[in-house]
Structure 1
């Protein structure tokens, strides 16, 4: 088990300032570049991008090779889906639409051996392909795997204390985009979304759980850090490419008018 995998969960729980990004392109190269830049973690986005099992397997290997923690935003909150990415060596999972305490508990159980229901195999990358003994693998997996629940549904706000209090849940990610659409708000800074964020931060503080959030700028990150966030996701590999491409095109195209 590599150092970045072993340390990420503890760093997250300790509320270290962590910076990550989504990876939409189902290839290893973006992850290698991001890891070399210094990102603390990447989130392979199976939910909104064309990642399949084989591509995820390669992406997680690239994360290990480049020294960044590889999480997966799974497409479905099922035990089978979670098991597959954990066996492939994911540092943890970012799980969409965790809208009830029961769902949080079910997902936590899928992530854990002891006290949970994670299917056992140590002949995977997570178990060093059989090199790690049964109980050493169980111990290492339970200590390292990170479960972050996405709070992005209005119904989740009805029992935040129950969700945040679920045993085995390490922290939450505030899904402002989905909340904005669900509320029909004018934007992610609309009053209803801001109120939802305030309530989530308050519940996380009561439960002693860390909060992750997506930000668009350093100023926005500073604002959320002041509210209690400690892990920040900025843009995606495709977003970075688009921004750099727009600037490069604009700079060179402007020469024609110079």
Structure 2
């Protein structure tokens, strides 16, 4: 079953269960294989994983083609680290090291 980021956000908003997998291994094939497990989303870990930004377009396309939503854990809450994955095909970001509500607002602005 294919799921979009809109479907995923709606499920979360309704409090419905979603299933995802976390990927620290490189390669678009890895992303595709993980997505084909039936996961609603695949998180590509740029903070602690072995992936690079250069791989994101291919990985995001492979995850999407396999029916899941590609998400990325950013390296940091800095503007470029939040926005760049979205430019390269991620449909959402998980942002580490957010200090407080004001910082969260800045991070959200960076994603827009």
TM-score (norm 1): 0.41
Distance 1:111 1:7 in 2: 19
Q: Give me the whole-angstrom Cα distance separating, in 2, the residues matched to 1:82 and 1:3.
A: 23
Q: Give 1:105's aligned residue.
A: 105
Distance (Å, rounded) in 2 between the aligned partners of 1:26 and 1:69: 17
1:47 to partner: Cα distance: 0.5
How far residue 3 of structure 1 moved from its aligned partner, in angstroms, is 5.2
The answer (yes or no) to whether the contact 1:21–1:42 under 8 Å persists in 2 is: yes
Q: Which has the higher contact order (CA 8 A, sep 6+)?
A: 2
Structure 2 unaligned spans of 5+: none
Q: Any stretches of 5+ residues in structure 1 without a counterpart?
A: 113-258
Could you say which residue in structure 2 is the equivalent of 1:21? 21
Would you identify which runs of 4 or more consecutive aligned residues in structure 1 move more than 2 Å? Answer: none
Asked if structure 1 preserves the Cα contact closer than 8 Å seen for 2:56 and 2:90, the reply is no
> Contact conserved, 1:26 with 1:56, CA < 8 A, in 2?
no
Q: Is the 8 A contact 2:3 2:69 kept in 1?
A: no
Q: Match of 1:227?
A: none
Larger helix proportion of the pair: 1
TM-score, normalised relative to structure 2: 0.89
Matches within 5 A, 1:205-244: none
CA displacement 1:131-163 (0-9 Å, x = unmatched)? xxxxxxxxxxxxxxxxxxxxxxxxxxxxxxxxx
Aligned to 2:35: 35
Superposed displacement of residue 89, structure 1: 2.0
